[in-house]
């Protein structure tokens, strides 16, 4: 459970690092960051926002609306959340983590959404860890696929074959990313090249 809340905290802080947002906007953007297979409920989002406000990572403001707008809508103004200095520090701290929990599916996907803000060495460690985790998973899937084929339902076998192909594809993709990161790390910067 702590991993999921860290991923959500990272996603919220990362999105608010880009711009202040109200809850509805934030939920919509979080659903994009968290991926197509997951829809974030308000029952999960608002307790997280409340905890981040209490921790001093974000602040909640209710912008003043002209009285006519408020009456026309028949509801209160939306609360806008924005990152604080402590929130920026916490976001940077979460991004620099490159330990095993960052290689898991959900954590990796969220972290990858903000990879442009991560140091190259940290990106490489996370990518390599993710690849190693998937290689272990691929080996388990291969063993299960090859040893348990007899008597299995054809569709369950197809599902296993599909999982094999997805893992192989992601491992190739990760290898390409790692190679690019290493090449960028060793190539001279354009501003340091003597012409």
Q: Which has the closest alpha carbon to 184: 116, 134, 102, 92?
A: 116
Note the pLDDT of residue 106: 76
Sheet with 80-83, side-by-side order of all strands: 21-22, 80-83, 58-61
CB neighbours of 29 closer than 8 A, spacing ≥ 6? Answer: 15, 21
Q: Which value, in Å, is the radius of gyration of the alpha carbons in the chain? A: 22
Give the percent of the chain with pLDDT over 70. Answer: 84
The dihedral of CA 48, 54, 60, 62: what is its sign?
positive
Report the predicted TM-score, pTM, of the whole model to 2 decimal places.
0.78
pLDDT, tens digit (0-9, with 9 covering 90-100), for 132-162: 999 999 998 888 777 766 667 888 888 888 9
pLDDT, tens digit (0-9, with 9 covering 90-100), for 51-62: 999 999 999 998
Which of 5-9, 85-89, 114-118 shows the lowest mean pLDDT across its residues?
5-9
Structure tokens belonging to residue 190: 């354009």
Confidence tier at 32 by pLDDT (50, 70, 90): confident
pLDDT, tens digit (0-9, with 9 covering 90-100), for 38-82: 677 888 899 999 999 999 999 999 877 665 555 555 566 789 999
């Amino acid at each position: 459970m702590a991993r999921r809340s860290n991923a959500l905290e990272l996603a919220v802080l990362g999105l608010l690092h880009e711009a202040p947002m109200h809850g509805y906007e934030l939920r919509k953007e979080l659903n994009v960051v968290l991926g197509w297979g997951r829809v974030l409920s308000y029952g999960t989002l608002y307790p997280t926002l409340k905890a981040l406000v209490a921790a001093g990572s974000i602040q909640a403001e209710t912008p003043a609306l002209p009285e006519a707008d408020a009456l026309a809508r028949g509801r209160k103004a939306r609360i806008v959340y924005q990152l604080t200095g402590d929130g920026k520090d916490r976001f940077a701290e979460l991004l620099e983590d490159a330990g095993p929990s960052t290689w898991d599916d959900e954590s990796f996907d969220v972290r990858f959404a903000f990879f442009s803000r991560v140091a190259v060495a940290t990106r490489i460690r996370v990518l390599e860890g993710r690849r190693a985790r998937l290689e272990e998973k691929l080996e388990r899937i291969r063993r299960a696929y090859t040893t348990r084929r007899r008597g299995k339902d054809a569709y369950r076998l197809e599902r296993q074959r599909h999982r094999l192909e997805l893992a192989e594809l992601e491992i190739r993709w990760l290898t390409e990313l790692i190679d690019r990161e290493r090449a960028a790390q060793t190539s001279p910067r354009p501003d340091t090249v003597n012409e």
